Chain A
Amino acid sequence: MASAVAKVPTLINTAITQARPKLNIFMKYARVELAPPKLSELPQIRQGIGNLITSAKTGAWKRQTVKEATLNVLVGAEVIFWFYIGECIGKRHLVGYDV
């Protein structure tokens, strides 16, 4: 038992050294893919919102393939889940409101 406890720091160290290159790769992708939108992309954003609205108005969203619809739902869900991450940051607690 004592030897197992003594191994914990080395285990943590190896975990960190093994995770570091992967984290570096993650950061390289995240810098590009999770970057906030630039101001120069504003017209594209406006166009995208316009597309969403027109597709909602004309009913074009009903004429998607199942694959497209699944992908769009998943992407939409991912985008909405960012709200809950933000809420957790705002309330500074993971589960429920810590009052």
Chain B
Amino acid sequence: MSDLPYGAPVRISPLIKFGRWSFLTVGVLYGAFHQNRLSKKEAKLREIEAQEKVIRDAKLKEEKERASALEIKALEEMASGTAKK
């Protein structure tokens, strides 16, 4: 303890030490608990999203097909219209 440049270490009040360590442990538990809770929640959300993605993809595909069919039809009409002239 002789080579300490700032004098002897301060004697921290036991209450402060107790407060620090108890808050630290409570914080660790709180963080772990909420990490666990939130990751479970997120996993559930991801599952639902994956289910919805299948439905949405099918819907989008159908819409695209319908749109392209309409487009082709319109183009054909246009082409036949110009051919008639």
Q: Which residues of A contact B (CB under 8 A)?
A: 25, 28-29, 32-38, 41, 44-45, 48-49, 52, 75, 78-80, 82-93, 97-99
CB distance from B20 to the nearest CB of A (A): 5
Interface flags for B21-32 (1: CB within 8 Å of A; 0: not) read: 101111111111
With A25-B5, A29-B9 known to touch, is A86 a contact of B15 (CB < 8 Å)?
no
Whether B24 and A75, one on each chain, are in contact in the complex, defined by CB atoms closer than 8 angstroms, is no
A86 to B28 CA separation, bound complex (whole angstroms): 4
A99 to B73 CA separation, bound complex (whole angstroms): 48
With A44-B14, A83-B23, A86-B23 known to touch, is A33 a contact of B31 (CB < 8 Å)?
no
Whether A33 and B9, one on each chain, are in contact in the complex, defined by CB atoms closer than 8 angstroms, is yes
Give the A-B pair count, Cβ closer than 8 A: 103
CB distance from A17 to the nearest CB of B (A): 18
CB neighbours of A36 from chain B (8 A)? 17, 21
A1 to B15 CA separation, bound complex (whole angstroms): 54
With A28-B4, A36-B21 known to touch, is A87 a contact of B15 (CB < 8 Å)?
no
CB neighbours of A85 from chain B (8 A)? 24, 27
CB neighbours of A78 from chain B (8 A)? 20
